[in-house]
Amino acid sequence: MTAPTYDLGKLHGGLRLPAHKRESTTELIKVVPIPSRLVLPIEQHVGSPAQPVVGVGDRVLKGQLVATPDGEFSAPVHASSSGTVTAIEQWPVSRRFGETAPCIVIECDGKDRAGPVAAAGDYRKLDPAKLLQRILDGGIVGLGGAVFPTAQKLMQARTCEIDYLVLNGVECEPYISCDDVLMRECAAEILSGAQILMHALQVNACLLAVESDKPEALLRLGRVLAELGDERIVLKQVPSVYPSGGEDQLVQLVTGREVPSGGLPTDAGCVVQNVGTAAAVHDWIVNNEPLISRVTTVTGDGVNTPVNIRARIGTPVQDLIAFAGGYTDRATHLIIGGPMTGKSVNTDEVPLVKASNCILAVSGAPGAGDELPCIRCGECALVCPVRLLPQQLLWHARADDDKKLRDFGLTDCIECGCCDLVCPSHIPLTADFRRAKGRIRELADEKARADRAKRRFEARSRRLEQEHQERAAELARQKSSAKTAGPAAIAEILKRKQKKGESE
Amino acid sequence: MLTAVLIVASIALVAGLGLAFAYRQLPAADGDLVEQVNDLLPQTQCAQCGYAGCRPYAAAVVDGSAAINLCPPGSDDTIRRLARLLGKDVIPLEQAVVPAVAVIDEAACIGCFHCRNACPVDAIIGAPQFMHTVIESECTGCELCVAPCPVDCITMRPLS
């Protein structure tokens, strides 16, 4: 096997959190049967929502396009199984607490008939631009939880100078283990996906980063990599510290390069993709199966048998909970995503979406406690992975002091929640920062609007002024020419007319 | 002793002359202040303050002839920012407005061109005798196009 390398950059702060991963990793990935009903939100990605291309009553086949991308940043949605579209309506989703969003509801016929898909052929012979278009058509988005459309991310990266493709197998958030089991069971698919992504990006170096608390995954990837014999791919082991799986943090860990403030990993010559995304790219490019299913972790002390499952996108969460043995008596909170960055939901009718890497049922809200005044202990600054000063930011966020917030780098906050967790006064710092960020964004939009209006107004004023001057100049010219050349000009015109008459 | 007094006196003289020169020759800071105030205004150019546009109002605020609470589209936020910049007290807005955009009922439009001429930010497109329409993303909601319309086909739609 290929041994992982350890030459790593440094990560400031971070936390070693209780992992809670063993509960769900004792067994192999289980495949959930096709549900009776699929709910497909048309917005399962960052960017503008897709536009439905099917109507109520239409019969759809597995893998058929049901919503097409709309706008620069968007991704298509495919039917996860065959059946009939029964409604396109508002349905509870997990994006925000209590929110509903337009969804395509499909009543499945259970036959799971696949529609015809045009094969891509050998990707190595494809032009990278065509390959990117093909990736876009597969509805593939970042499966680490951020769901940025993969094709657009790669297209953006193609405009920059890229040295490394970084594959993110660092599942640093507690409870989540879907990438871990995916790496154990689908190592070959992940590595094949890495090769496809390298071809699409035209880079010759891939760093596959895996956390040190996943020995089985490391072993398996190392074996498959040795069999594959692709020297471009290097396995990297990173320490299991939360949030080492954040894009910018991971780039710093594996390359020692720091992503600049307000920049992207591409500014450090890297493109980061989740291992699940790489496997999805392989499934689409090689096996012609669009992103219609994903591996997710159903866990927490609120479910009877925590397990990793492969389920169709759109399966209601209640079906998945039932598959994992149902709720225990202690279950009080349902969270989609991990305990640090996930979203709490008020109903288990929400569907599994491309972003759902974990379904967490727990007995108590984590970190709950009465808020006390800040005692300026500085613990939050010690753990902040971006080296911010949360205690100062809190001060300025509550005072709405935008300039100070900018000076103290609020926009670089990755909302990892480390500061919340260590705060002895139980201050919900991240929530305050999130609010302040939203407000600053709104203000910036307003300012941009005002600036545009000002420019348009000034341009119009200049134009009116110019028109006025031109009119005045023309009038003056006519006046002066009439005065000075009056009789002579008239004689000239008469002469011309006469000439014309003679020639005719 | 005498040398010290002379040195200090000459320093004071040079500094004084320098300041006097700067005061007379360099452009007054007020010009910049008008620009700063103008930057804080929402640039709707709506004239609801009673001045011809945002910049004239900014000039009036700086020379003290206008109060800082006359800008309805700017809402209380603008008053707060103006008060902070100018060191004045925060006073409530004269009258509040809801943010809105103009919408032309295109079926009723007769192509008279009056609204296009009224729009301070060129957000209305169309040609004489042809239907006009509003570029929604550029409309500042100033309402200046509503009054000139001879067929009353322009309405203000509140932004949600």
Nearest chain B residue to A448 by CA: give it. B42
The residue with greater pLDDT, A70 or A167, is A167
Strand (E) positions, chain B? 100-104, 124-125, 133-134, 154-158
DSSP three-state, residue A64:
coil
Average pLDDT of the segment spanning B126-140: 89
Q: Are residues A298 and A373 in the same domain?
A: no
Q: Do A453 and B53 touch (CB under 8 A)?
A: no
Alpha-carbon gap, residue A322 to A349, rounded angstroms? 12
A444 vs B: CB within 8 A: no
Residue A1 has what pLDDT?
A: 47
Number of structural domains (chain A) is 2
Q: How many CB atoms lie within 10 A of CB A182?
A: 26
Say whether residue A456 is in contact with chain B using an 8 A CB cutoff.
Answer: yes
Q: Does B44 touch chain A (CB under 8 A)?
A: yes
**Band of residue A381 on the pLDDT scale cut at 50, 70, 90:** very high
Q: Say whether residue B69 is in contact with chain A using an 8 A CB cutoff.
A: no
| Cβ-Cβ contacts under 8 Å, A458 against chain B | none
The residue assigned the tokens 């009922």 is B105
For residues A150 and A268, state if they share a domain.
yes
Residues of chain A contacting B44 with CB distance shorter than 8 Å: 453
Residue span of the structural domain in which A465 resides: 368-478
My answer on whether A275 and A401 are in the same domain is no
| pLDDT tens figures, A161-213 | 999 999 999 988 999 999 999 999 999 999 999 999 999 999 999 999 999 88
A400 touches chain B (CB under 8 A): no
pLDDT class of B31 with cuts at 50, 70, 90 = low
Residues A299-342 pLDDT 10s:
998 899 999 999 999 999 999 999 999 999 888 889 998 888 88
Which residues of chain A neighbour B85 with C-beta distances below 8 Å? Answer: none
Is the pLDDT score of A5 beyond 60?
no
- pLDDT at residue A205, rounded to an integer: 92
Question: Taking CB atoms and an 8 Å cutoff, what residues of chain A touch B75?
Answer: none
Helices (H), A306-428: 317-323, 379-383, 390-398, 402-407, 418-422
Residues in contact with B62: Cβ distance below 8 Å, sequence separation at least 6, in sequence order: B30, B33, B34, B37, B86
Q: What's the average model confidence in pLDDT over B44-48?
A: 85
Calculate the alpha carbon distances from B65 to A169, B60, B68 in Å: 65, 5, 10
B130-149 mean pLDDT: 89
From the list A446, A452, A453, the residue facing B45 with the nearest CB is A453
- Residue A360 belongs to a domain: no
Q: Note whether residue A297 is domain-resident.
A: yes
Q: Can you tell me the distance from the alpha carbon of A478 to that of A410, in angstroms, rounded to the nearest whole number?
A: 64
Give the integer Cα–Cα distance in Å for A373 and A375: 6
CATH, domain range B99-160: 3.30.70.20
Q: Shortest Cα distance from A355 to chain B (angstroms)?
A: 28
| 8 Å CB contact between A142 and A150 | yes
Q: Report the CATH number that the domain containing residue A432 is assigned in CATH.
A: 1.10.1060
The pLDDT score that the predictor gives to residue A193 is: 94
| B54 at A interface, C-beta within 8 A | yes
The helix (run of H) or strand (run of E) holding residue A83 is strand A83-92
CATH number 1.10.15.40 given to B28-97: yes
Written as six digits, the tokens of A403 are 């300039």
Determine, yes or no, domain membership for A253: yes
SS3 label, residue A442:
helix
To the nearest whole Å, the CA of A463 is away from the closest chain B CA by 11
In this prediction, residues A6-22 reach a mean pLDDT of 77
Number of residues assigned to chain A? 504
Closest chain A residue to B55, measured at CA: A454
Predicted local confidence at residue A79, as pLDDT = 93
Cα torsion A59, A64, A66, A67 to 10°: value is -170
Q: What sign results for the dihedral spanned by CA atoms A303, A307, A308, A314?
A: negative
Q: Are A424 and A373 in contact (CB under 8 A)?
A: no
Residues of chain B with C-beta less than 8 angstroms from the C-beta of A460: 120-122
Q: Is A6 a domain residue?
A: no
Domain coordinates in residue numbering, chain B? 28-97, 99-160
Is A389 in the same domain as A279?
no
List CB contacts (< 8 A) between B140 and chain A.
449, 453
Q: Are residues A205 and A274 in the same domain?
A: yes
**Residue B30 pLDDT level (bands cut at 50, 70, 90):** low
Statement to judge: residues A308 and A397 lie in one domain: no
Domain holding A238: CATH number?
3.40.50.11540
Calculate the alpha carbon distances from A4 to A163, A219, A272, A489, B69 in Å. Answer: 20, 9, 19, 95, 66
b or e along B133-142 (b: 16 or more beta carbons within 10 Å of the residue's beta carbon)? ebeeebbbbb
Predicted confidence (pLDDT) at residue A399 exceeds the cutoff of 90? no
Whether A465 is in a domain gets the answer yes
Please check whether residue A31 lies inside any domain of the structure: yes
Give the pLDDT of residue A110: 87
The pLDDT of residue A151 is above 80: yes
Split at pLDDT 50, 70, 90, the class of A250 is very high
Dist. CA A149–CA A75, nearest whole Å: 6
Average pLDDT for residues A126-146, to the nearest whole number?
A: 89
Which candidate, A171, A184, A179, places its Cα nearest to that of A219?
A184
The count of C-alpha atoms lying within 13 angstroms of the C-alpha of A154, restricted to the half-sphere facing its C-beta, is: 31
DSSP code for A240? -
Partner B contacted by A453 (CB < 8 A): yes
Q: In which region does residue A295 sit, left (phi positive, over 0), alpha (psi from -120 to 50) or beta (all else)?
A: beta
The minimum CA-CA distance between B93 and chain A, rounded to whole Å, is: 19
State the pLDDT confidence band at A2, using cuts at 50, 70 and 90. Answer: low
Q: Do domains B28-97 and B99-160 have the same CATH topology?
A: no
Query: Which ipTM score applies to this complex?
Result: 0.77
Per-residue pLDDT at A72: 82
Chain A: closest CA distance from residue B45 (Å): 8
Decide which of A285, A312, A339 is a domain's last residue: A312
Share of residues in chain B with pLDDT > 70 (%): 96
Distance (Å, rounded) from C-alpha A76 to C-alpha A66? 8
Provide the whole-model pTM: 0.77
**Distance separating alpha carbons of residues B118 and B114, to the nearest angstrom:** 6
Spell A4-42 as b/e; 16+ CB within 10 A means b. Answer: beeebeebebbbebebbbebbbeeebeebebbeebbbbb
- Residue A261 to chain B, least CA–CA distance (Å): 27
pLDDT of A457 higher than 70: yes
Statement: residue B25 has pLDDT above 90: no
**Omega before A243 within 30 of 0, i.e. cis:** yes
Nearest to B120 among A449, A451, A457 (CB): A457
Q: What is the pLDDT of residues A412-440, one digit of tens each?
A: 999 888 998 899 999 989 989 988 998 88
Q: CB distance from A451 to chain B under 8 Å? A: yes
Total residues found in chain B within this entry: 160
Same domain, A188 and A268: yes
Q: Does B144 touch chain A (CB under 8 A)?
A: no
